[in-house]
């Protein structure tokens, strides 16, 4: 039974979402504040976190950043508005996906199942690429889902890992944002390409050269992104 941690301060929304997810056979732990959410993260060990962006006290953004300091659990952010600033800031803080409130239970359920599917797909990845790849000082262990750069492990969130595995499987190939959106997030044509740009930015920060310059993920202006092997 997939475990979902719901962090939502509105009692009506919290109870409604919790009930809907339990009807879909999820084990749901629901809390009202970011502080309680961080505590339950350690105790409950969820498979997915659904995090409201607007929380009293510790904000959803702060909670997201705190989670990312020690966990790569998938985070689906719930925002009251689909405004660019809200969405981009949340994604850059470490969220893997987002839904706009009021959240429709069937939409949230679909996003959760997509996240869980992507976890399974990544763990069983078999795209024909070598199991261990070496690209200069970057080593990608596809079987173990382990990334090391200059001899040090690079912790990647689910979307970051899948983005890197997708790009690096075809070095030099240019992927459009739409192609990456469908491959990494399983979003169809109506998906939000801001997910791609924010994830690329996070991945570049984690894999930057000592000087801070990006090396492995290149922008091809007007087209998309590609992986540079060396």
Q: Does residue 8 share a domain with residue 69?
A: yes
Kindly report the average pLDDT of the chain as a whole number: 89
Determine what percent of the chain is predicted with pLDDT higher than 90. Answer: 66
Q: Does residue 151 share a domain with residue 102?
A: no
Q: Does residue 94 share a domain with residue 38?
A: yes
Range of the domain at 75: 3-123
Which of 123, 142, 160 terminates a domain? The answer is 123
Determine what percent of the chain is predicted with pLDDT higher than 70. Answer: 92
Q: Does residue 119 share a domain with residue 26?
A: yes
Q: Does residue 112 share a domain with residue 49?
A: yes
**pLDDT at 145 > cutoff 90:** no
Question: Which among 66, 108, 101, 63 has a CA at the least distance from the CA of 82?
Answer: 101
Phi then psi dihedrals of residue 147, to 5 deg:
-115, 125
Q: Which helix (H) or strand (E) holds 83?
A: none
State pLDDT tens for residues 55-86.
999 999 999 999 999 999 999 999 886 667 78
State pLDDT tens for residues 98-144.
998 888 888 899 899 988 888 776 655 555 556 788 988 999 998 88
pLDDT of residue 128: 54
pLDDT of residue 130: 60
pLDDT of residue 224: 95
Q: Does residue 67 share a domain with residue 137?
A: no
CB count within 10 Å of CB 126 equals: 9
Separation CA 207–CA 138 (nearest Å): 9
Contact 143, 58 (CB under 8 A): no
- Can you give the pTM of this predicted structure? 0.85
How many folded domains does the chain comprise? Answer: 2
Q: Does residue 11 share a domain with residue 105?
A: yes
State pLDDT tens for residues 154-177.
999 999 999 999 999 999 999 999
Which of 123, 156, 180 terminates a domain? The answer is 123
Q: Does residue 204 share a domain with residue 104?
A: no
Question: Which among 184, 227, 177, 180 has a CA at the least distance from the CA of 207?
Answer: 227
Q: Does residue 87 share a domain with residue 9?
A: yes
């Amino acid at each position: 039974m997939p475990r979902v941690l719901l962090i939502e301060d509105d009692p009506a929304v919290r109870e409604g979402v919790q009930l809907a997810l339990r009807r879909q056979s999820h084990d749901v732990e629901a809390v009202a504040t970011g502080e309680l959410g961080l505590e339950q993260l350690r105790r409950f060990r969820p498979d997915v976190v659904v995090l409201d962006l607007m929380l009293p006290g510790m904000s959803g953004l702060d909670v997201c950043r705190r989670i990312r300091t020690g966990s790569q659990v998938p985070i689906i952010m719930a925002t009251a508005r689909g405004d660019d600033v809200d969405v981009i800031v949340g994604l850059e803080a470490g969220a893997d996906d987002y839904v706009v409130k009021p959240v429709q239970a069937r939409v949230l359920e679909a996003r959760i199942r997509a996240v869980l599917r992507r976890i399974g797909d990544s763990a069983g990845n078999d795209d024909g690429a070598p199991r261990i790849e070496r690209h200069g000082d970057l080593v990608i262990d596809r079987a173990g889902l382990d990334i090391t750069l200059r001899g040090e492990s690079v912790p990647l969130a689910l979307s970051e890992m899948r983005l890197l595995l997708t790009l690096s499987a075809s070095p030099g190939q240019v992927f459009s944002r739409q192609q990456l959106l469908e491959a990494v997030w399983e979003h169809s044509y109506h998906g939000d390409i801001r997910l791609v740009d924010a994830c690329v930015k996070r991945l570049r920060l984690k894999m930057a050269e000592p000087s801070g310059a990006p090396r492995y993920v290149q922008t091809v202006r007007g087209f998309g992104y590609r992986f540079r092997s060396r």
